[in-house]
Amino acid sequence: MNLQIESSVSDALARNQPVVALESTIFSELGLPAPANVEALERCQRAVVDAGALPALTAVLDGVPTIGHADPAVICGPARKVAQRDLGVAVAQRWSYGATTVSASVTLAAAAGIEVFATGGIGGVHRGWSDGGQAGCGDISADLGALARWPVITVSAGAKIFLDLAATVERLETDGVPVLGWRCDEFPAFHARTSGLKVPHRVESAVEVAAIARAHWTLGGGGILVVAPVPEAHALPRDRLDQAVDSALAEAERQGARGAEITPMVLAALGRATDGDSIPTNLALAENNAGVAAQIARALCA
Ligand code: PSU
Ligand code: MN
């Protein structure tokens, strides 16, 4: 199998210039509805460039794991979801477009030698994971295992609000993933800046994150999660959000969502339940994460 790394990306890495990996699921039809996905892709890439780094999109294209620039018409179109475990299948079966989730993206970033990755919100432990009664039964995102395994810094607005955030935070601790609050004291809840859960460590600067990462990796550590809250102006009010999440989860349950379908179905239902207001919030937080990731990538290269 060959890993297709665009020459601009491999050149930048060889010259110790900052690169930020991006996932593709969020920009595909599985992530955000058109045309918001096209706008999200443009804004995230621009945020990385404006902060002085090179964006590198991860995807499986015609069966080839690819890192670099890709045709927005493909990236923002119909896709099959590729988590880490699906990478080999997508390659061998030559999937035309496999959109990478966080778990697949950090796998590819690590394979390419990219140290920083930006997403919207990571997957985590689903609500009802232990009680058998809900769609989320037993569902723990592969994002968590991949985060623990690969030595990549992931920048995310916490984890998606419809998850069991307390269980997600605990799981990160068990797996040995440092969670660093980017100028915040609480674990962000994706569309909301707060969750009531404390982050173990607060950081104020990219230089600080870089120093922590270097020390963590010297001691054999894997991934690091930097959580950045959605910018204040774009956060959704908490009460409205809680209601929308309840109705979105109920809708996904009625539709019989299982396994990998759950997250895309709940995200779409959440868009409807907020009359579309969750979409600009999603765009703003993804763009913000991309900019923070670029600052960290620069600090790592300094
Ligand atoms: N956050 C978003 N939109 C998304 C996702 C996260 O705002 O589409 C995707 C990411 O690719 C993440 C995946 O890795 O959902 C997690 O899916 P699951 O819960 O099935 O592991
Ligand atoms: Mn899952």
How many angstroms is it from 138 CA to the middle of ligand 2? Answer: 9
Residues in the ligand 1 pocket, defined by CB under 6 Å = 23, 25-26, 30-31, 101-102, 120-121, 123, 141-143, 160, 260, 263, 267, 282
> Is the predicted pLDDT of residue 130 greater than 90, yes or no?
no
pLDDT score recorded for residue 257: 87
Q: Within its chain, how far is the Cα of 61 from the centroid? A: 20
> Is the predicted pLDDT of residue 84 greater than 90, yes or no?
yes
- Poorest-pLDDT segment among 87-91, 99-103, 135-139: 135-139
pLDDT score recorded for residue 129: 79
pLDDT score recorded for residue 138: 78
What is the average pLDDT across 254-265?
Answer: 89
Neighbours of ion ligand 2 (CB under 5 A): 139
Residues β-bridged to residue 21: 56, 117
How many angstroms is it from 252 CA to the middle of ligand 2? Answer: 13
Residue 186 φ then ψ, to 5°: -115, 150
pLDDT score recorded for residue 135: 55
Residue 171 parent element (H or E): helix 165-174
What is the average pLDDT across 217-239?
Answer: 96
Q: Name the closest-CA residue to atom 10, ligand 1.
A: 101
Residue 68 parent element (H or E): strand 64-68
pLDDT score recorded for residue 86: 98
How many angstroms is it from 285 CA to the middle of ligand 2? Answer: 22
Report the C-alpha gap between 117 and 122 in whole angstroms. 11
- Can you give the residue ranges of every domain in the chain? 4-301
Told to judge if 23 belongs to the known catalytic residues of this protein, a careful annotator would answer yes
Told to judge if 160 belongs to the known catalytic residues of this protein, a careful annotator would answer yes
**C-beta separation of 123 from 142 below 8 A:** yes
Query: Considering 115, 160, 186, 287, which one is annotated as catalytic?
Result: 160
Residues contacting 207, CB < 8 A, separation 6+: 299, 302
User: What's the full length of the chain, in residues?
Assistant: 302
> Is the predicted pLDDT of residue 166 greater than 80, yes or no?
yes
Residue 244 φ then ψ, to 5°: -65, -40
DSSP state of 274: T
* 191-195 contact pairs (CB < 8 A, 24+): 191/161, 191/230, 191/235, 191/236, 191/241, 191/278, 191/281, 191/282, 191/285, 192/161, 192/230, 192/235, 192/236, 192/238, 192/241, 193/229, 193/230, 193/232, 193/235, 194/229, 194/238, 195/158, 195/165
Residues contacting 235, CB < 8 A, separation 6+: 191, 192, 193, 229, 281
pLDDT score recorded for residue 132: 59
pLDDT score recorded for residue 208: 98
> Is the predicted pLDDT of residue 161 greater than 80, yes or no?
yes
Tell me the per-residue pLDDT of 181-220, one tens digit each, with 9 for 90 and over.
999 999 999 999 999 999 999 999 999 999 999 999 999 9
Ligand 1 atom closest to the CA of 103, numbered from 1: 14
pLDDT score recorded for residue 253: 87
Ligand 1 atom closest to the CA of 25, numbered from 1: 11
| 3-state SS class at 137 | coil
The predicted model scores a pTM of 0.96
What is the average pLDDT across 137-150?
Answer: 93
**Token pair recorded at residue 91:** 């390659």
pLDDT score recorded for residue 294: 99
Query: Which bound ligand lies closest to the C-alpha atom of 261?
Result: 1
- Poorest-pLDDT segment among 16-30, 120-134, 157-171, 266-280: 120-134
Tell me the per-residue pLDDT of 3-35, one tens digit each, with 9 for 90 and over.
999 999 999 999 999 999 999 999 999 999 999
**259 falls in which pLDDT band (50, 70, 90)?**
confident
For the chain, the average pLDDT equals: 95
CATH architecture of 4-301: 3-Layer(aba) Sandwich (3.40)
